[in-house]
Amino acid sequence: MKLNQSTFIQSSYQSVYLDIFFYLLTLRIAQWEKKMFNYDKAFSRNIGWVTEEEQQILRGKKVAIAGAGGVGGVHLLTLARLGVENFYISDFDDFEVHNFNRQSGAFMSTLGQQKVDVMEKMALDINPNANIKSFPEGIFEHNVDEFLEGVDLYVDALDFFALQARKIVFKKCYEKNIPVITAAPLGMGAACLCFMPGKMTYEKYFRFEDKKTENDQLIQFLIGLSPAMLQRPYLVDSSRVSFKEKRGPSTPMAVNLCAGIAETYALKILLGRGEIIAAPYGIHFDAYRNKYKKTWRPFGNAGLMPRIMFYIAKKIVEE
């Protein structure tokens, strides 16, 4: 009995020593990476499309991204490669097998791991000097102020059905005069909306409060995101869309197109140059149909055409 107890204690000490060893080794590796990393060289290929001075401006900006899955993950990595060095990111979810078709951090090696942890590691692998604060519980009324503290831009990457969280963040961005970019992966294309300080607000555009049920508000969100509905004609299996089960099909191409459009707008907003197409205007590009539309909803979803679209979409959703 004494021998077994002694063996157990010895084994416990060895385990503690190994934990300490690997912790110290991780610290040394991180220190070595920071020492070897050179910001100017890492992002030197950006120069030409941005000036050296602008690159340093991007370096000092802070971007908040809610959602670290499909579009959120690729937003973070693209902005990190653009040279942005300060981020607040949030997501309460873990990686699962059904994420593999579109999410940057979804691998066999990351199954079951929290999305914010995986994406933070990937971003730090691009820039070990990046400052990333994670909100692994998600965004709620009690932490939204902290999530947006000192932020220059908010990039919306919440799940389509995360309506309550989206309304909380949009409202707070409006109060704090923080620009908002939301890019939706639709079929094999992407639609993008910007809400800029002093322009049409998210509520005047989407008119969520005009509808009483969550499903109706989600339809409002859909027709506001995609007034052109360019993706609709080639949906080959409509049974894969279910508002009741909160699921829909997706493609990796659409996710990557979202990043290309949204991060180009992020660059323009953060550097203060280039035309910003802001709500009530939006843009929608569909690679499958080779089509581009600049949309305009002067009255938001309160206009005649959006009201007609709402009833058509509601009928389709309820079938």
Query: pTM for this structure?
Result: 0.89
- Mean predicted confidence (pLDDT) in 189-197: 98
Query: Which tokens go with 314?
Result: 């509601």
**What distance in Å separates the CA atoms of residue 126 and residue 108, rounded to the nearest whole number?**
21
Chain position carrying tokens 């932020």: 151
30-64 b/e (C-beta count within 10 Å ≥ 16 → b): eeeeeeeeeeeebbeebeeebeeebbeebbebbbb
Is it the case that residue 244 has pLDDT exceeding 90? no
Burial class of residue 2 (count of CB atoms within 10 Å of its CB; 0-12, 13-18, 19+): exposed
DSSP character at residue 87:
E
Chain position carrying tokens 């994406």: 119
Chain position carrying tokens 């859909």: 222
Contact status, residue 118 vs residue 72, Cβ threshold 8 Å: no
Residue 185 C-beta-side C-alpha neighbours within 13 Å: 27
**What distance in Å separates the CA atoms of residue 205 and residue 220, rounded to the nearest whole number?**
10
Chain position carrying tokens 């929290």: 114
Res. 142 pLDDT band, cuts 50 70 90: very high
Q: What is the largest CA-CA distance in the chain?
A: 84
pLDDT given for residue 211 in this prediction: 95
pLDDT in tens, 195-243: 999 999 999 999 999 999 999 999 999 999 999 999 999 999 988 988 8
For the chain, give the percent of residues with pLDDT over 90.
Answer: 84
pLDDT in tens, 44-96: 999 999 999 999 999 999 999 999 999 999 999 999 999 999 999 999 999 99
Contact status, residue 154 vs residue 173, Cβ threshold 8 Å: yes
